């Protein structure tokens, strides 16, 4: 036991002495390992933030909702109206047919807002979504955050002025409003003004979880059959598939990135270890002649590699946390999403993959030295 302690102390002193003699080699290994670890950590964090962004969108809009937008027919062909074509959907969920007017309205503060035109077939859905819809003091109403509720807002549409009451947007309509003010006007008022040019749309929320996939497939088939060549059908259900694909891509990227990091660590650390071994081959042979085994000497090189990789890993974690918000805000992520207080992708418990890569790479990098140490003293000197 005492001999093992003395050997460990001696080898530790040998490591520290080599570091003081060749600080450039030590610094080079650490900086290269820090750079590789930092790239791997930021890559992994980017995928995690992408998954969080998709998950947030799914949760905010509701997994069972969908919105369909169509473009006017360019060839003059007659097509059935969306509200009549998909009217049976009203039996199994919230069915809200409407149209986006191409013209914009102007509020009293000069802000331009989009206009949603609704007919009588949309009244049941509006009554269900907006409390007290039947008792609104004006025909038109403005869905907007940040305005005093029940405020009467003067609105200009072309040369026409009319009053609209401000209504707080119901959560179910987040997929339609997208957090922007929308002016809702009945189709009878638009016809009286004489405005044309609308984008037919509908919003649907299924009552049965898991059934929306089948509904979307059926709707796409009907749209193709009825001659709707240009349409946009969007649903958080589709984002679930994107989320799964992104997770699979993250696993593949971790494998490729990990192989790249491991290979570079093996090449760099292994080359320096072999160079130092050859430079000190006579001293190593002398140590072996004094009774030190090849295993002891190989352990010395392995411990040195693992210590340097551990230091590099820790420095990379600190550097990644320091640059995280700047890097990903610059990359276009929402500032609220990249806050480490919300999601911290650099916790030690989540770094098992990178730690395993560094451990294996550190071990493989000293294998050539271990093979050299296994040779007899006379053959090594020769």
Q: Are residues 75 and 195 in the same domain?
A: yes
Distance CA 273, CA 370 (A): 10
> What range does the domain containing 257 cover?
2-58+241-381
Which residue, 191, 207, 223, sits at the end of a domain? 207
Is 220 contained in some domain? no
Q: Tally the residues of the chain.
A: 382
Residues 6 or more apart whose CB falls under 8 angstroms from that of 358 comprise 33, 37, 261, 262, 265, 309, 310, 313
**What is the pLDDT, as a whole number, of residue 381?**
46
What pLDDT, in 10s, does the model give residues 104-147? 999 888 889 999 999 998 999 999 998 888 888 888 899 988 88
* Residue 375 clears pLDDT 70, i.e. is over it: no
**What is the pLDDT, as a whole number, of residue 380?**
47
Mean per-residue pLDDT of the chain: 83
Whole-prediction pTM? 0.70
Q: Are residues 245 and 377 in the same domain?
A: yes
Closest CA to 165 of 184, 151, 175, 183: 151
147 or 165, which is more confident: 165
Where residue 321 falls among pLDDT bands split at 50, 70, 90? very high
Is 236 contained in some domain? no
- Alpha helical stretches, state H, 208-280: 212-225, 236-279
Q: Are residues 47 and 70 in the same domain?
A: no
Least confidently predicted of 42-56, 130-144, 339-353, 360-374: 360-374
Distance CA 358, CA 54 (A): 31
Q: Are residues 40 and 156 in the same domain?
A: no
Dihedral of the CA atoms 317, 323, 324, 330 (nearest 10)? Answer: -150
Start-to-end Cα distance in the chain = 34
Where residue 95 falls among pLDDT bands split at 50, 70, 90? very high
Average pLDDT over residues 42-57: 89
Q: Are residues 287 and 192 in the same domain?
A: no
* Residue 303 clears pLDDT 90, i.e. is over it: no
Sign of torsion, CA 24 28 34 39? positive
- In terms of Cβ atoms closer than 10 Å to its own Cβ (0-12, 13-18, 19+), residue 36 is buried
Which residue, 207, 222, 249, sits at the end of a domain? 207
Q: Are residues 12 and 34 in the same domain?
A: yes
Q: Are residues 43 and 99 in the same domain?
A: no
Least confidently predicted of 20-24, 224-228, 246-250: 20-24
Residue 170 DSSP code: P
Q: Are residues 122 and 194 in the same domain?
A: yes
**What is the pLDDT, as a whole number, of residue 38?**
94
**What is the pLDDT, as a whole number, of residue 296?**
64
Distance CA 77, CA 71 (A): 13
Q: Are residues 185 and 288 in the same domain?
A: no
* Residue 294 clears pLDDT 70, i.e. is over it: no
Which residue(s) pair with 142 in the sheet?
A: 166, 183
Is 47 contained in some domain? yes
Is 202 contained in some domain? yes
Is 9 contained in some domain? yes
Is 226 contained in some domain? no
**What is the pLDDT, as a whole number, of residue 73?**
64
Average pLDDT over residues 194-202: 85
* Residue 355 clears pLDDT 50, i.e. is over it: yes
Question: Which secondary-structure segment (H or E) carries 184?
Answer: strand 182-186
Q: Are residues 179 and 268 in the same domain?
A: no
**What is the pLDDT, as a whole number, of residue 231?**
87
Q: Are residues 156 and 279 in the same domain?
A: no
Least confidently predicted of 76-85, 86-95, 127-136: 76-85
Is 259 contained in some domain? yes
Q: Classify 153 as helix, strand or coil.
A: strand
Average pLDDT over residues 303-323: 91
83 or 5, which is more confident: 83
Q: Are residues 292 and 308 in the same domain?
A: yes
Which residue, 150, 183, 207, sits at the end of a domain? 207
Is 231 contained in some domain? no
Task: Indicate the number of domains in the chain.
Answer: 2
**What is the pLDDT, as a whole number, of residue 224?**
87
Least confidently predicted of 41-45, 157-161, 181-185: 157-161
237, 213 contact by CB (below 8 A): yes
What pLDDT, in 10s, does the model give residues 254-281? 999 999 999 999 998 888 877 776 766 6
């Amino acid at each position: 036991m005492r001999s093992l302690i003395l050997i460990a102390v001696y080898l530790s002193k040998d490591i520290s002495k080599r570091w003081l003699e060749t600080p450039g080699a030590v610094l080079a290994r650490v900086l290269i390992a820090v750079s590789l670890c930092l790239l791997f950590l930021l890559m992994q964090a980017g995928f995690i933030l992408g998954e969080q962004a998709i998950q947030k969108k799914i949760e905010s809009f509701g997994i069972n909702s969908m919105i369909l937008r169509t473009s006017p027919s360019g060839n003059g062909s007659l097509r059935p109206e969306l509200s009549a074509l998909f009217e049976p959907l009203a039996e199994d969920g919230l069915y809200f047919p409407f149209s986006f007017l191409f013209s914009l309205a102007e509020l009293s503060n000069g802000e331009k807002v989009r206009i949603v035109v609704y007919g009588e077939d949309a009244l049941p859905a509006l009554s269900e979504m907006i409390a007290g819809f039947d008792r609104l003091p004006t025909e038109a109403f403005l869905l907007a955050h940040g305005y005093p509720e029940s405020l009467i807002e003067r609105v200009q549409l072309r040369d026409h002025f009319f009053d609209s009451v401000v209504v707080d947007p119901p959560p179910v309509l987040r997929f339609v409003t997208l957090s922007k003010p929308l002016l809702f006007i009945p189709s009878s008022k638009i016809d009286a003004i004489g405005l044309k040019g609308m984008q037919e749309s509908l919003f649907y929320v299924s009552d049965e979880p898991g059934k929306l996939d089948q509904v979307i497939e059926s709707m796409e088939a009907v749209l193709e059959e009825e001659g709707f060549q240009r349409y946009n059908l969007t649903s958080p259900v589709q984002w679930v598939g994107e989320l799964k694909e992104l997770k699979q891509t993250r696993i593949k990227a971790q494998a490729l990135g990990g192989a790249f990091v491991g290979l570079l660590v093996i090449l760099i650390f292994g080359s320096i270890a072999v160079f130092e071994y050859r430079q000190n081959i006579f001293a190593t042979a002398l140590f072996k002649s004094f009774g030190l085994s090849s295993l002891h000497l190989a352990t010395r090189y392995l411990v040195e590699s693992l210590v340097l990789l551990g230091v590099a890993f820790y420095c990379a974690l600190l550097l990644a946390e320091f640059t995280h918000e700047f890097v990903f805000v610059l990359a276009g992520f929402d500032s609220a999403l990249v806050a480490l207080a919300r999601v911290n992708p650099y916790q030690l418990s989540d770094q098992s993959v990178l730690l395993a890569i560094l451990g294996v790479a550190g071990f493989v990098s000293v294998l050539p030295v271990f093979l050299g140490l296994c040779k007899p003293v006379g053959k090594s000197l020769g």
